[in-house]
Structure formats: C-alpha cells, structure tokens
C-alpha cells in the first residue's frame, strides 16, 4: 500500500474530515478502505462482500449528509463497516466481532452516528418513518432521515408496510437509498427483483415507488462518486419522500469476492471442522430421494441454512421466498395442506418473526411442517440479535409442537428423520459450529438417552449441545462422591413422561440448556415433575448477551462442565 493511501485513511476520524478532502482524492480513499477491509475482515471473520460493495456509496452519504444531525440508518447492518471507519472507529477493527470489541453491526453504544443496532432485514424503513414523525412533531425541518436498504430487504413484507406509510408523507423528508446489487446472501428472486431488473435495463417509464408517492432518482452508478453525490444532494433538496436507486456490485474491487458466485464473500468464515449444518444438508439430500413429497423453503438463505445442495439435487422442490420468514412458514402451511411434507430452514434468531405463523397457521391446524433452526443457542461473534437463545422459551408455549435437540451429528440425522415422520408440527434445533465427536448413549429408556450413570443423587438433564458439558460435570461430581445420572431427552419439548419418572428417582434434578433460562425446557421440567421435587435450572440469562466466541459466552453463563459441577455441589449441599 502506498504512503499516499495510508495518509488518507489516517486523516479520517470523523465525517468532517471526509468532507474536507478534495473530490479527486476520493478514489484513492476508496481503494485504501477496500484494502483495509480485506486485511481486517479476512483476519477476524465477518461481512466482507457486502461492505466492499458500498464503499463509494457510504463515502457519498457522509459527504452529503451531516451525521449524526442527519440520521443515516443501515438496514440489516451487514454493510456498516465503511460507515464505522468514516465515523472514527478505525482502531476498533483490531477487535472486530471479538468480546469487548467492535460489533459487526451498527451499535449505538459505540457511536452517536449509530442510531439503531439492528441486524435483520427490512426494519430500517419503519425506524425511518417513526424518526421522521418524531422530528416533525418536534418542529425539526432541517435534518434528513436516510435509510440505506438493499434490494434483498425489499423482499420482506415489513419494508412494504413502511413504504406504504412513507410515500404519502409529503412533508416529511425521508430518503430511501436503494442499494441494488441483485442479492441478499443469494440472488434476489420474485416480482420485486424483476421490477428492479427492468429499471436497471431502462425498460420502465413509471416505477412502483412513484406509484406509492415517492420521487424516484436513478438508476445511479453505485461506484461513481460524483454521480452518487449529485443524486443524493438532489434528493436532499426535494425535502420529501425520495428513492435513490443505486446499482452496486457486491464484493467490488476484490477479485476473490467478485469471483465467488455463491455469495461474493458475503461473510468470511473462520476455518474449522465439518459443521452440523453440513451434516444436516447431507442427510436432507438423502431423505429427498426416499421422501418424494419432501419440499424445502428458505428465506433468502439457501447456503447458510444448508438447503443449497437439496435445491441443486431436486430442482423444483426448494423455494426461496426472499427475506420473509412469516411468509415462509405460512407458505409451508399451504404446502402441507396441499399434501406435501414441507421443511423450513431458518436461523433460530429469525424464528421470532414467524412465531405467529407457527402458532396459528401451523400448530393450530396440526400440520406436518418441520422447522429446522440453525444457529440455536449462542452463535458467538454476531452478537445479541443473532443469538438463537429465545427459541426454546417461545416454543414451549406452542401446543402440539415437538421440539428435538440433537447432541451430536448422529442424533441430528436420527432426529431429522423422526421429525419428518411425525403427523404434526416439529422443530429441529442445533447450534452453529463443528459437528464434533459422537457422544454415545449407555442405554435408551423411555425415549431418553442415558449418557452417565454413577448413582441417584443428582439427575443432570442435558438439552442438545449441553449434553457433553453435563457428562464432563458428571465425571467431576462422581470423583467427588456424588452419584449422577446424565440424561439427554432428545425431544426437549414437550417433556416426556419418562423424564418425569426418572426425576422422581433422584434427590436433585438440574436441567442445562443453551436457551434463555426463563420459560424454557427447565421450566417445563419443573411443571412436569411431582410437587416438591428439587429442580434447579441452568441456562442463558434473561438479558441480551454480547458478542464473543461461543466458548467465552457459555463460560460466562456457567454452562461449562466445571461450572455445572460447582452449581450442583452448592445445590446438593443445601
């Protein structure tokens, strides 16, 4: 990297410094930003391709608008690294996505330039609507609200609910910057994608945005700084609802990202062993041949959830519905009503959006829909909005729903097959990470796998991935003279009668789960046990857990073998 380039980025500690640069210096700054991102993100892991694609766009935004007086909102937040660089957080990239370090998403605690701390799609437009209304009520007519939204985010219904409200507000200056790269993780599908493609090809005279009441500017070359600044300045001067349609390339300026046709290095993963997602994908493909009525649904994430291989092997039996989890689950209900066996694969943290559909469109109708939740429990460096820690507490309230939690790859394959054989709704949840070693059972009794048996003082109930930590704790406790049984219920919810019977044979029952401790499996076990039973529940705290490695965060929550053993000893002594 040249000295000239180094000097440019070193001079930027705020957007004011950026605005002080001459226009002819900006291409060199953009090149240095890309070099910086490649170096830092490939070292730490994180979102690379999406940030490389918005370098010029973010520079232009901060030259035209004066954050934080003007509010710039990033939908999803995958593309906010450049924004962080330009708002004085360059040094923080040494600890990007590490515990105590810089978040991988916008984070208000880091900077006044981050107003929202979101990480899922289609929300920024609603935030913008509310912020604009608040400013109008406060008499502020000077400052703009800018929402940067990807074309993938427009596949989510919430975005259109917001556009429906924003378009008629002629006296509220909200600027929608549409970052159109034709993708979310995967290529964008559907009628909106077709409409945007027609706009890119200059084949339409009227846009859907204009029909909704917006002024439309574009398409604008998303890597042409002069064109971007000109369009954004015009949008600001219009002082009403405006869409600025910018055409960008995900991964722009970095050949490996440009040539990665799967997702243009959307995320740079840490190197590791074979993942549970890969195991799920392999088993699903095998089941596809045995079950001709099996169909799969993804909410714009066929690769990350393990459905890509199924879609390639069985064309026509995998449906990408866009970033629309609510629609995905309700559509799966329709597939089931049509006589098929649908499977919906989404991240555990994104199930929150589709809870109503799971409850009232699937479970109420007792439909055989299987929901596969990847990234259950603590996910690690993606932080609080991506931890899949709420699912067990939510799912415990759903009547007639069977929830499976495999402890290893063998059980994942086994329980997936069982889910797809049930007459009603089911959920299969597993964590992000390597498949690890098999944890074999000593015996299977009453539907439970017994993993350790040294006495009847304490029953440790290890839910899914927590089973291995329970076995570790049992070994320590046995060495201390405490008799322990470790049981893996396999089906976490509802509590099987066999588990309640086994609990009655022990002096103390301790449940261990990688979900929020309030209202989860432990609470269900307490309700299932006889009155007076001593039950202690261990799990994640009822709070928003920060980002860090999975190991660090589980240790902080007391969900390691040594910590479980200590908690049991204290309880056993009472």
Torsion of CA 388, 390, 392, 396, to 10 degrees: -150
Judge whether 254 is annotated as a binding position: yes
How far is the C-alpha of 21 from the C-alpha of 442, rounded, in Å? Answer: 69
Judge whether 546 is annotated as a binding position: no
Rama region for 403: left / alpha / beta (φ>0; ψ in -120 to 50; rest) = beta
Judge whether 252 is annotated as a binding position: no
Judge whether 230 is annotated as a binding position: no
Kindly state the DSSP code that residue 452 receives in the 8-state scheme: E
Residue located via tokens 């200056």: 173
| 399 contacts 343 by C-beta, under 8 angstroms | no
Judge whether 325 is annotated as a binding position: yes
Partners of 244 in beta bridges: 177, 217
Convert 321-359 to b/e letters by CB count within 10 Å (16 or more is b): bbbbbbbbbbbbbebbeeebbbbbbbbbbbbebbbebbb
Kindly state the DSSP code that residue 352 receives in the 8-state scheme: G
Instruction: Choose among 420, 435, 127: nearest CA to 296.
Output: 420
Instruction: Choose among 66, 87, 81: nearest CA to 33.
Output: 81
Counting Cβ atoms within 10 Å, is residue 204 exposed (0-12), middle (13-18) or buried (19+)? middle
Judge whether 165 is annotated as a binding position: no
Strands of 213-303 (E only): list them.
215-221, 242-247, 267-268, 294-298
Judge whether 565 is annotated as a binding position: no
How far is the C-alpha of 267 from the C-alpha of 265, rounded, in Å? Answer: 5
Judge whether 143 is annotated as a binding position: no
Interacting residues of 348 by C-beta distance below 8 A, sequence separation 6+: 373, 374, 375, 376, 377, 388, 389, 390, 391, 429
Interacting residues of 60 by C-beta distance below 8 A, sequence separation 6+: 225, 228, 229, 232
Judge whether 152 is annotated as a binding position: yes
Partners of 180 in beta bridges: 247
Partners of 508 in beta bridges: 458
Judge whether 119 is annotated as a binding position: yes
* Assigned token pair, 246: 């910018």
How far is the C-alpha of 465 from the C-alpha of 488, rounded, in Å? Answer: 10
The residues annotated as belonging to the active site are 250, 325, 353
Rama region for 405: left / alpha / beta (φ>0; ψ in -120 to 50; rest) = beta
Strands of 206-363 (E only): list them.
215-221, 242-247, 267-268, 294-298, 318-320, 341-347
Binding site for thiamine diphosphate, residues? 78, 119-121, 152-153, 181, 254, 325
Binding site for Mg(2+), residues? 151, 181
Binding site, residues? 78, 119-121, 151-153, 181, 254, 325
């Amino acid at each position: 990297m040249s000295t000239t380039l180094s000097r440019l980025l070193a001079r930027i500690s705020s957007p004011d410094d950026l605005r002080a640069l001459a226009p002819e210096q900006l291409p060199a700054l953009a090149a240095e930003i890309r070099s910086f991102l490649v170096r830092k993100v490939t070292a730490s892991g994180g979102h690379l391709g999406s940030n490389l694609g918005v370098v010029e766009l973010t520079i232009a935004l901060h030259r035209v608008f004066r954050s934080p007086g003007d509010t710039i909102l990033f939908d999803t937040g995958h593309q906010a690294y450049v924004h962080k660089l330009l708002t004085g957080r360059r040094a923080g990239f040494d600890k990007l996505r590490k515990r105590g370090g810089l978040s991988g998403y916008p984070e208000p605690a880091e900077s006044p330039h981050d107003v929202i701390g979101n990480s899922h799609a289609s929300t920024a437009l609603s935030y913008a609507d509310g912020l604009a209304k608040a400013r109008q009520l406060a008499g502020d007519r000077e400052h703009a609200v800018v929402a940067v939204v990807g074309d993938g985010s427009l596949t989510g219904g919430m975005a259109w609910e917001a556009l429906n409200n924003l378009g008629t507000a002629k006296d509220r200056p909200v600027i929608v910057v549409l970052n159109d790269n034709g993708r979310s993780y995967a290529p964008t599908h559907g009628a909106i994608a077709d409409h945007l493609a027609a706009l890119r090809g200059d084949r339409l005279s009227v846009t859907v945005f204009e029909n909704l009441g917006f002024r439309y500017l574009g398409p604008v070359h998303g890597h042409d700084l002069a064109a971007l600044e000109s369009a954004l300045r015009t949008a600001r001067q219009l002082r009403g609802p405006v869409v600025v349609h910018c055409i960008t390339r995900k991964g722009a300026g970095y050949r490996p990202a440009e040539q990665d046709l799967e997702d243009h290095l959307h995320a740079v993963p840490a190197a590791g062993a074979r993942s549970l997602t890969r195991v799920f994908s392999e088993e699903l493909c095998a089941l596809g041949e045995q079950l001709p009525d099996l169909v799969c649904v993804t909410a714009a994430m066929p690769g990350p959830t393990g459905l890509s291989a199924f879609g390639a092997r069985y064309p026509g039996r995998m449906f990408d519905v866009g970033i629309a989890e609510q629609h995905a689950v309700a559509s799966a209900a329709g597939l089931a009503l049509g006589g098929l066996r649908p499977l919906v694969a989404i991240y555990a943290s994104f199930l929150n959006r589709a809870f109503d559909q799971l409850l009232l469109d699937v479970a109420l109708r007792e439909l055989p829909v299987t929901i596969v939740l990847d990234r259950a429990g603590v996910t690690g460096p993606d932080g609080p909005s991506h931890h899949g820690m709420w699912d067990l507490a939510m799912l415990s309230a759903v009547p007639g729903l069977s929830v499976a939690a495999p402890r290893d790859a063998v059980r994942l394959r086994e329980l997936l097959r069982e889910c797809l054989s049930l007459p009603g709704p089911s959920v299969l949840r597993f964590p992000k990470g390597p498949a690890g070693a098999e944890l074999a059972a000593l015996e299977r009794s009453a539907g439970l796998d017994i993993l350790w048996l040294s006495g009847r003082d304490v029953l440790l109930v290890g839910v899914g991935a927590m089973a291995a930590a329970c076995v570790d704790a049992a070994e320590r406790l046995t060495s201390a003279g405490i008799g322990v049984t470790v049981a893996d219920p396999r089906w976490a919810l509802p509590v099987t009668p066999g588990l309640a019977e086994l609990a009655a044979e022990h002096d103390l029952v301790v449940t261990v789960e990688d979900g929020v401790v309030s209202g989860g499996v432990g609470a269900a076990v307490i309700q299932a046990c006889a009155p007076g039973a001593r039950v202690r529940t261990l799990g994640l705290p009822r709070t928003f857990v920060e980002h860090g490695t999975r190991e660090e965060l589980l240790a902080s929550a007391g969900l390691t073998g040594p910590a479980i053993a200590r908690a049991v000893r204290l309880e056993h002594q009472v």
